[in-house]
Amino acid sequence: MKYFLIAGEASGDLHASNLMKQIKKMDPAAQFKFLGGDLMKEQAQEEPVIHYKKMAFMGVFDVLKNIFKVLSNFKKAKKALLEFHPDAVILVDYPGFNLKMAKFSKENGFKTFYYIAPKLWAWKEGRVKTIRKYIDKTFVILPFEVDFYKKHGVTAKYVGNPVFDAVKAHKPMSEEKFYQKFNPSRKPLIALMPGSRKGELKMSLPAMREITKNYPQYSFIITGAPGLELQDYRPYIDEREIPVIFGHTYDILQHATAAIVTSGTATLETALFHTPQVVVYKVGNLQYKLFRRFVKIKYFSLVNLILDKPAVPELLQADFNIPRVQKELNAILQGKAREEMLENYRQLEQVLGAYKASETTAKEIINELEENRDSA
């Protein structure tokens, strides 16, 4: 069968590639066409229609600034979809683009699935109408999302969390090898995770850099994000003082004593490696005012959202300042606060459950397609 996938960010590329891998196991004759990245390219053995690096626009202002590129991407995606004429269209996260493609896909008669459904419980709840109207089957990766979608008349299936699967599948580098390669000083390590977009680096790295000066007894490593390059970090840090390491985020978290993490999927990854963390986030003041006006969530980080309690400290906007970060960091480097956070992490694993998200989703999609074929 033929599968058309769309992922617009690095994390989507990872999760979509794992889904493709599972589809190939169950459907050896599978053919793929996709918008995504290098990991999806490995599975499909062909170039993407559009690489996610040409799609990753952050926020309303960034989209407006690049509106002609966005429109061009839609045109290319629609053309490729019609030419490929797949048995299934699989949309992976990235709602600003994918919800529009869902409408186009369904109106042109394609079976349409959503894997890693949009976080509409946080904002733009009205978009759920699009899911209800144009998506044949919705797969969610956070347990509480099932009830949210059910409230809106959408039957969503919890398939587990692909981040949980990726962390559990990671084969850790030995401590000795890690020290030799990345931490020759052998000081306790604090990981710095400033985000996966250029705008996040600008907001996070200057403060993170200043904080490192107050902890000479620790070593620091910045986890380089897929989709970014060393030159993106250089305006804010000197990599001779704080190295930027690409492709080893999980190894760094495995061996870190603590982490300062820009809110996003990284907060969940950090928790699943049992690394105590301080969560931070900052955007432009106008963007933040708009965000606070429309966003309806009690917590910001995935860890706190899933557990529905302040399991990790969240320092947002003005609270993301050097004294506050240092206070929270000091609390989790040792002592009671550290032990409480580690206990919260254990609870998190129990809530997420030992599912296999990619395998479960692939099975659901293929079963659905085969049932339709049999009834046709």
| Termini Cα distance of the chain | 15
Spacing of C-alpha 204 from chain mean position: 18
- Predicted pLDDT of residue 59: 59
What letter would DSSP give residue 228?
Answer: -
Can you point out the beta strands (E) in the chain? 2-7, 31-35, 88-92, 111-115, 137-140, 156-158, 189-193, 219-224, 244-246, 258-262, 277-281, 314-316
C-alpha distance from residue 35 to each of 5, 76, 80, 122, 162 (Å): 6, 10, 10, 26, 19
- Residues with Cβ within 8 Å of 15's Cβ and at least 6 positions away in sequence, in order, are 7, 92, 93, 115, 116, 162, 357, 358
pLDDT per residue rounded down to tens, the chain (376 residues): 999 999 998 889 999 999 999 999 999 999 999 999 999 999 999 999 999 988 866 656 666 666 778 789 999 999 999 999 999 999 999 998 999 999 999 999 999 999 999 989 887 888 999 999 999 999 999 999 999 999 999 999 999 999 999 998 899 999 999 999 999 999 999 999 999 888 899 999 999 999 999 999 999 999 999 879 999 999 999 999 999 999 999 999 999 999 999 998 999 999 999 999 999 998 876 666 666 666 677 899 999 999 999 999 999 999 999 999 999 999 999 999 999 999 999 999 999 987 899 999 999 999 999 987 766 5
Phi first, then psi, for residue 15 (nearest 5°) are -70, -35
Sheet holding 2-7, edge to edge: 31-35, 2-7, 88-92, 111-115, 137-140, 156-158
CB 285 within 8 A of CB 320: no
- Residues with Cβ within 8 Å of 303's Cβ and at least 6 positions away in sequence, in order, are 267, 268, 271, 279, 311, 312, 344, 345, 348
- Predicted pLDDT of residue 124: 82
Domains and CATH numbers, the chain: 2-160+355-375 (3.40.50.2000), 168-352 (3.40.50.2000)
